[in-house]
Amino acid sequence: MVFFTRSIVLLMALALITGCERQDAPPLDQQLYVWQRQWTPAHDAALRDSRADFSTLRVLALQAFPNAGWSRARIDPPLLKRDGRPVIAVVRLDGQLKALDQEEVTAQIRQVISDWQELGLNLAGVEIDHDAGNARLPAYREFLAQLREALPASLALSITALPSWLDSRELPALLSTVDSSVLQVHAVSDPRRGLFDADQALQWAKAWSRVTTKPFYLALPAYGVALLPSADGAPLVESEVTLEREGRRRELLADPQSLRTLGTELRADPPKHLAGLIWFRLPLANDRRAWSLTTLRAVARGDVLDSRLTLKLSGDNGLYDIGISNQGNLDSAWPERLTLAVSGCEGADALAGYALQQRPDLITFTRLRDGRIPAGGQRAIGWARCAKIDQGGSNVHP
Question: pLDDT, tens digit, for every residue of 93-124?
Answer: 999 999 999 999 999 999 999 999 999 999 99
Average pLDDT, the chain: 91
Residue 41 burial class via C-beta count within 10 angstroms: exposed 0-12, middle 13-18, buried 19 and up: exposed
| Higher pLDDT pick, 247 / 255 | 255
142-167: average pLDDT:
98
The confidence band for 140, taking pLDDT boundaries of 50, 70 and 90, is: very high
- What is the β-pairing status of strands 354-359 and 362-367? antiparallel
The answer to whether the beta carbons of residues 398 and 333 sit under 8 Å apart is yes
Q: Give pLDDT, residue 19.
A: 40
Cβ atoms < 10 Å from Cβ of 338: 24
Question: How does pLDDT run across 5-34, given as a tens digit for each residue?
Answer: 444 444 444 444 444 333 445 679 999 999
Instruction: Measure the CA–CA gap between 333 and 379, rounded to whole angstroms.
Output: 11
Contact 270, 28 (CB under 8 A): yes
Query: Per residue in 352-379, pLDDT tens?
Result: 999 999 999 999 999 999 899 999 999 9
What is the sign, positive or negative, of the torsion defined by CA atoms of 203, 208, 214, 220?
negative
Note the pLDDT tens digit of each residue in 217-231: 999 999 998 887 776
C-alpha dist (Å) from residue 160 to 127, 128, 181: 7, 6, 6
| Amino acid type, 287 | D
Q: 398 pLDDT exceeds 60?
A: yes
pLDDT of 248 reads 72
Mean pLDDT calculated for residue range 195-200: 94
Instruction: Give the domains, in start order, of the chain with CATH numbers.
Output: 29-301 (3.20.20.80), 309-397 (2.60.40)
Q: Sign of dihedral through CA atoms 353, 359, 363, 366? A: negative
* Region label for 353, one of left (φ > 0), alpha (ψ between -120 and 50) or beta (otherwise): left
The C-alpha atoms of residue 202 and residue 224 are separated, in whole angstroms, by 20
The pLDDT tens digits of the residues spanning 282-336 come to 999 989 899 999 999 999 999 999 999 999 999 999 999 999 999 999 999 999 9
